[in-house]
A and B are shown apart, each in its own frame.
Chain A
Amino acid sequence: MIHADDGILSQEQRLMRDSCRSFVDDVVTPFIRSNWQREWDMSPGERLPGSILEGAEAIGIRTLGVPEEFGGIDLDRETEVRTFALIAEEIARGDSGLADKLVQNWKVSIVIRQFAAKHLQEKWFPRLLEDPKFLLAHCLTEPRGASDRWLPYNVPEASMHTRAVLDGDHWVINGRKQFISNGFDASLYVVYANTDPSVGMLQGTSSFLVPRETPGLTVTKCNETMGCRFMNNGELVFEDCRVPADHLLVKSTALASAGQYFRAGKIIQAAKNLGVGVACFERTADYVQNYVQGGRILIKHQAVALRLADMATRIEAVRSLVERASKAVDEAHPDADILCNMAKVYASEEIMKVATHALELHGGNGAMLEFGIEKLFRDAAIFLHMDATVDVSRMKIIKNMFPATAGKYAGPET
């Protein structure tokens, strides 16, 4: 692909990206290419070999977002989200499930560093850094659905069903969370629960730090997903799950305060998508320059060349928007919310088209598991639904632009 963006990156950003790219080229891609069956191993814990995570550990991509005072990486905060985007793209170019797994740690670390009491940061950040298998998860979605919360509809009946009640010096959590990235194998969870059913979710939702071993927390299953299969998405049940009062992160306004997490999350989401798109392009460009039909390599057929051009153009358009939106998030620009939702939804739809081209240009090979192109297609498809659906993301954009008129709560059917 073209590297027109190089000039605006800092030297460190370029070096970090290059290091990550080498790791992906040398370790991740060869593993994915030669072990296509591993995705379908029905023991989720066994899917990704330890060596891949150890490699990720060695280049330090598991624990971005951890503050330097606790042993984390001293990324320049003014360009932190841009850096996240660069690294997430590179990892996802190798495998988007691996990227999901790792970026969740970065995103949740932002929440912890911002909201957890100092003594809890002192306790958990070192554990996160020490243990290469330590993962974090962020639990919002429930069986009742996530879209109302994304929009958000700020009326009591739209609130979460998971409840937390203060009992002496403990919070008692009851409810279920579903579709949680790293939910199956995380060691520490950030959990959102309703703490005031009389008000809307923006005033009545609180967030908590819940260690995996907490009695009353049960990980009930690993969701078998269509794509990103090297990240173990999970479901959790809370039955009188008691966490000490100091594990409360944000009282009442947790959803409103999670903005920094959500915004970085949308950018990272778009960037992972971009990585999948780049992989589609690279694989396809290589294929059409080697495979022959009609007496000549495919790229010499104009219909093929035009599709390839379309793939490259969409990828670069996504890249431009991701760059612009990540800059807006880093600078806390008033339009950051709008732009990061635009980047997320645009990336998901454009890269889906890129993946469709890749599938088509590979002919029958594109449909074969051992070829790995259909995997990119599945990985791209899942991005449509993660971190808000396409339609809900669009509604958020317009709600943000026209708050007085757009996206009002419809209310229960009468």
Chain B
Amino acid sequence: MKILVAVKRVADPNVKVRALADGSGVDLANVKMTMNPFDEIAVEEAVRLKEAGRANEIVVVSIGPEKSAETLRTALAMGADRGLLVRTEATVEPLAVAKILKAVAEAEKPDVIITGKQAIDDDANQTGQMLSALLGWGQGTFASKLVVGDKAIEVTREIDGGLQTVSLALPALVTADLRLNEPRYASLPNIMKAKKKPIDERTPADYGVAVEPRLTVVRVHEPATRKAGIKVGSVGELVERLRMEAGVL
């Protein structure tokens, strides 16, 4: 079984990003970048399937600037076998990403595609769904558990109010949720070994996909700063203020 995993380079979720002064986007200059956390989970799941003997090849693909190769290298160090960088400096919207991934899937013919449920930069939560629709494959989104059989894959999904289990005929697409697994750290020996694993490079044009944005970003601004809280002297005062000032009682 062959697994294709899509990984995106995003701003490290631990750093506080700022909006650009002109409101055109987020200031990413000198910001530490990392693999989208949900994609790490996707890579980890693929690596575990390989370790369990369920998969024999893991291909990781990233669409983005040159530095995305570093994100691919991390995935290779975690245990993926080879990488593919579809290089572009442009901002690529989910639909274009899905179209590129569709073309990659047609060339690579994986049995399963795993993506993160969303990227933590734009939080679009669209790529996996669009890709499965374009491919005409079954989709199991928000996966918290995978059981891979020979012809089908059972996906436990985290949905409002509980868990749902769906069975998908292969090939199929899965998007990884937080509780699917806890991804490993790339170990130092594996980072050195990953140096020798191949990363191919293409461009969106190679797949005939136009990446020009269809959406217009009107304005990016920071959340309003919260007003400082106050200490109240008694329960009576608390109730009073909740009623009179906050108007919630």
| Interface of A toward B, CB cutoff 8 Å | 3, 11-12, 14-16, 18-20, 22-23, 25, 58-61, 64, 72-75, 87
Contacts and interface: CB of A to CB of B under 8 A. Distances in A.
A325 to B, nearest CB: 22
B234 interface: no
Given A11-B70, A11-B73, A12-B195, A18 B188 contact: no
A15 B77 contact: yes
B30 interface: yes
Interface size class of B (residues with CB under 8 A): 20 to 34
Contacts of A16: 188, 191
B32 A3 contact: yes
B34 A73 contact: no
A19 B191 contact: yes
B30 A18 contact: no
Given A3-B32, A12-B195, A15-B70, A59 B187 contact: yes
A19 B185 contact: yes
Nearest to A83: B188
Nearest to B74: A15
B188 A59 contact: yes
A22 B185 CA distance: 8
The CB with the most chain A CB atoms within 10 A, among B187, B189, B193, is that of B189
Interface of B: 14, 30, 32, 34, 69-70, 73-74, 77, 184-193, 195
A14 B73 CA distance: 11
Contacts of B30: 3
15 contacts: A15-B70, A15-B73, A15-B74, A16-B191, A18-B34, A19-B187, A19-B188, A19-B191, A59-B188, A60-B189, A60-B190, A61-B188, A64-B188, A74-B189, A75-B192
Contacts of B34: 18
Contacts of A18: 34
B185 A14 contact: no
A160 B189 CA distance: 39
Contacts of A25: 14
Nearest to A13: B191
B187 A58 contact: yes
A58 B77 CA distance: 13
A7 to B, nearest CB: 11
A87 B32 contact: no
Contacts of B73: 11-12, 15
B128 to A, nearest CB: 25
Given A16-B191, A59-B185, A73-B188, 8 more contacts: A3-B30, A11-B69, A11-B195, A15-B77, A18-B34, A25-B14, A58-B185, A59-B187
Contacts of B191: 12, 15-16, 19
B12 to A, nearest CB: 9
Contacts of A12: 73, 191-192, 195
Contacts of A19: 77, 185-188, 191
Contacts of B186: 15, 19, 59
Nearest to A75: B192
Contacts of A73: 188-189, 192
A352 to B, nearest CB: 28
A313 B74 CA distance: 32
A74 B196 CA distance: 11
Contacts of B32: 3
A316 B171 CA distance: 52
- Of B30, B73, B184, B191, most buried by chain A (CB within 10 Å of CB) is B191
B67 to A, nearest CB: 9
A3 B30 CA distance: 8
Contacts of B74: 15
A22 B35 CA distance: 12
Contacts of B195: 11-12
Nearest to A15: B191
Contact of A58 (B69, B70, B184): B184
A16 B74 CA distance: 9
Given A3-B32, A11-B73, A18-B34, A74 B192 contact: yes
Contact of B187 (A60, A72, A74): A60
A14 B192 CA distance: 11
Q: Give 3 nearest A-B pairs by CB, closest first.
A: A60-B188, A60-B187, A73-B189
B196 to A, nearest CB: 9
Nearest to A72: B189
A85 to B, nearest CB: 14
A223 to B, nearest CB: 30
Contacts of B192: 12, 73-75
Contacts of A14: 70
B233 to A, nearest CB: 20
B184 A87 contact: no
A246 to B, nearest CB: 30
Nearest to A71: B189
A311 to B, nearest CB: 20
A230 to B, nearest CB: 20
Nearest to B186: A19
Contact of A87 (B69, B188, B193): B188
A326 B188 CA distance: 20
Contacts of A61: 188
Contacts of B185: 19, 22-23, 58-59
